[in-house]
């Protein structure tokens, strides 16, 4: 059985997903692409061999020959497009976030619950990153005892001028919010956000530091620095009762010369998480054939956005904020 996929939005991420789908995913074919920028859609179709260029997202979703939809258009389009996919009964892999606000995510959740089956996967691809998977497997082995603290670092080279502290949380640190819940298999119950106060430091991309408590009593922190200058760098360390597990960036080569050794950082997230994006896509397509949902669900998408909003509130009010969630629908157990 071959799954015919339609991709909505083929900018940086959508074009990458299109290349991954055609080059690395057996059992799938790229049936259609669309983009608000028609020339961009035609260029990506020519490069990837997509069978058609659709005029708009509705034409992709309502195309009877499209079995499943991948949404990689901007965040503010995700809710409406995902709801349209659900109304059409089409499985959808929606890039993160599921929607910018928890309220919008709840609308998607309600529609999926009403339909009675899981059709939505959210593109929190770190669930498929080999380094995080090894970390989780080692924790689950029990060898190191229980998890006590989780440190996360997430650094980008530079941030656009409009990228403020709220975006650092809801656009970037959401990856750490998601992966911390997944690794520790628990919910985050409170958040407090701190910002260094360095005179004259640029506001855009300035660091935010988030401290969470979990329902299991653990402490989680996230350093999010979108203007870190030196490279794209994601690291972490899980501290357990009998040892720690460090999350390292994969290193492919090291230059040794002049009494020094040098390793290299990627300029952005795509090389670092290439394996995760590929494994996520393969797992999504397989899940559509065998009917077993994988990856981040709409519930995970909702919780992540709700935690991000609590982070915004902490940032505005300068205090710790309790994270309130709606009861989890049975569909997501
Ligand atoms: N999972 C990850 O690691 C990761 C990383 C980066 C971005 N993202 C997410 O992926 C999404 C896309 O980000 P990007 O960096 O590729 O952005 P981008 O701006 O490069 O691409 C977005 C594309 O969508 C098109 N578009 C805009 N409105 C549209 C509409 N209504 N219908 C169809 N096409 C439309 C734009 O013309 C553009 O080509 C965002 O939601 C972003 O948050 C996820």
Residue 12 CA to ligand 1 centre (angstroms): 7
Q: What percent helix, strand, coil does the chain show, rounded to 5? A: 40, 25, 35
13-37 burial: b if 16+ Cβ within 10 Å, else e? bbbbbbbbbbeebeebebbbbbbee
pLDDT at 204 over 90: no
Residue 284 CA to ligand 1 centre (angstroms): 19
Please, are residues 125 and 207 in contact by the beta-carbon 8 Å criterion?
A: no
Q: Whose CA is nearest to atom 5 of ligand 1?
A: 13
**3-state class of 65 per DSSP?**
coil
Q: How far apart are CA 168 and CA 27, in angstroms?
A: 37
Q: How far apart are CA 172 and CA 269, in angstroms?
A: 11
Which segments of the chain belong to CATH 3.40.50.720?
Answer: 3-124+275-297
Class of domain 3-124+275-297: alpha beta
pLDDT at 218 over 90: yes
Q: How far apart are CA 132 and CA 272, in angstroms?
A: 12
Q: Whose CA is nearest to atom 40 of ligand 1?
A: 74
Looking at the chain, the whole-number percentage of residues with pLDDT higher than 90 is: 96
Q: What angle do CA 209, 127, 18 make, to 5 degrees?
A: 110
Residue 169 CA to ligand 1 centre (angstroms): 18
Residue 80 CA to ligand 1 centre (angstroms): 15
Contacts of 121 (CB under 8 A, 6+ apart): 91, 92, 93, 94, 284, 287, 293, 294, 295, 296, 297
pLDDT of the residue at 60? 98
pLDDT of the residue at 203? 85
Residues in contact with ligand 1 by the CB-under-6-Å rule are 8-14, 34-37, 40, 57, 72-75, 77, 95-96, 123, 125, 269
Which segments of the chain belong to CATH 3.30.360.10?
Answer: 127-272+304-332
Contacts of 123 (CB under 8 A, 6+ apart): 72, 93, 94, 95, 96, 280, 296
The 8-class DSSP code of residue 329 comes to P
Which tens digits make up the pLDDT trace of 244-279? 999 988 888 999 999 999 999 999 999 999 999 999
Q: Quick one: which of 199, 125, 219, 205 has its CA closest to 165?
A: 205
Contacts of 61 (CB under 8 A, 6+ apart): 6, 8, 69, 81, 84, 85, 88, 90
Please, are residues 168 and 238 in contact by the beta-carbon 8 Å criterion?
A: no
Q: What angle do CA 239, 220, 165 make, to 5 degrees?
A: 140
Which tens digits make up the pLDDT trace of 134-184? 999 999 999 999 999 999 999 999 999 999 999 999 999 999 999 999 999
Q: Whose CA is nearest to atom 38 of ligand 1?
A: 11
Q: Which atom of ligand 1 is nearest to the CA of 78?
A: 41
Peptide bond into 97 cis (omega under 30): yes
Please identify which residue in the block is written with the tokens 């109304």: 87
Please, are residues 101 and 309 in contact by the beta-carbon 8 Å criterion?
A: yes
pLDDT of the residue at 235? 96
pLDDT at 22 over 90: yes
Which tens digits make up the pLDDT trace of 56-80? 999 999 999 999 999 999 999 999 9
174-184 helix and 298-317 helix, angle to the nearest 10 degrees: 120
Superfamily in which the 127-272+304-332 domain is placed by CATH: Dihydrodipicolinate Reductase; domain 2 (3.30.360.10)
Burial category of 268 from C-beta neighbours within 10 Å (exposed 0-12, middle 13-18, buried 19 and up): middle
Residue 214 CA to ligand 1 centre (angstroms): 31
């Amino acid at each position: 059985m071959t799954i015919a996929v339609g991709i909505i939005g083929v900018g940086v991420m959508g074009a990458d997903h299109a290349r991954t789908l055609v080059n690395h995913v057996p059992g799938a074919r790229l049936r259609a692409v669309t983009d608000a920028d028609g020339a961009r859609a035609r260029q990506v179709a020519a490069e990837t061999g997509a069978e058609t260029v659709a005029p708009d997202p509705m034409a992709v979703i309502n195309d009877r020959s499209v079995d499943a939809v991948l949404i990689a258009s901007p965040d503010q389009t995700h809710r409406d497009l995902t709801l349209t996919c659900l109304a059409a009964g089409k499985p959808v892999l929606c890039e993160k976030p599921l929607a910018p606000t928890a309220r919008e995510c709840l609308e998607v959740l309600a529609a999926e619950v009403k339909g009675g089956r899981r059709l939505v996967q959210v593109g929190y691809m770190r669930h498929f990153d080999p380094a995080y998977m090894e970390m989780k497997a080692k924790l689950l082995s029990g060898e190191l005892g229980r998890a006590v603290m989780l440190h996360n670092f997430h650094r980008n080279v530079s941030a656009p001028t409009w990228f403020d502290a709220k975006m650092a949380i809801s656009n970037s640190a959401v990856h750490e919010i998601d992966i911390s819940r997944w690794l520790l298999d628990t919910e985050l119950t409170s958040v407090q956000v701190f910002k260094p106060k360095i005179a004259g430091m640029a506001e855009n991309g300035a660091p935010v530091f988030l401290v969470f408590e979990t329902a299991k009593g653990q402490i989680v922190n996230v350093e999010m620095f979108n203007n870190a200058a030196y490279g794209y760098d994601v690291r972490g360390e899980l501290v357990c009762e009998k040892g720690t597990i460090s999350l390292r960036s994969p290193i492919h080569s090291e230059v040794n010369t002049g009494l020094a050794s040098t390793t290299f950082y990627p300029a952005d997230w795509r090389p670092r998480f290439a394996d995760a994006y590929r494994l996520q896509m393969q797992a999504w397509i397989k899940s559509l054939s065998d009917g077993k949902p994988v990856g981040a669900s709409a519930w995970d998408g909702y919780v992540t956005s709700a935690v991000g909003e609590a982070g915004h509130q902490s940032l505005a009010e300068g205090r710790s904020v309790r994270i309130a969630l709606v009861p989890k629908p049975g569909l997501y157990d």
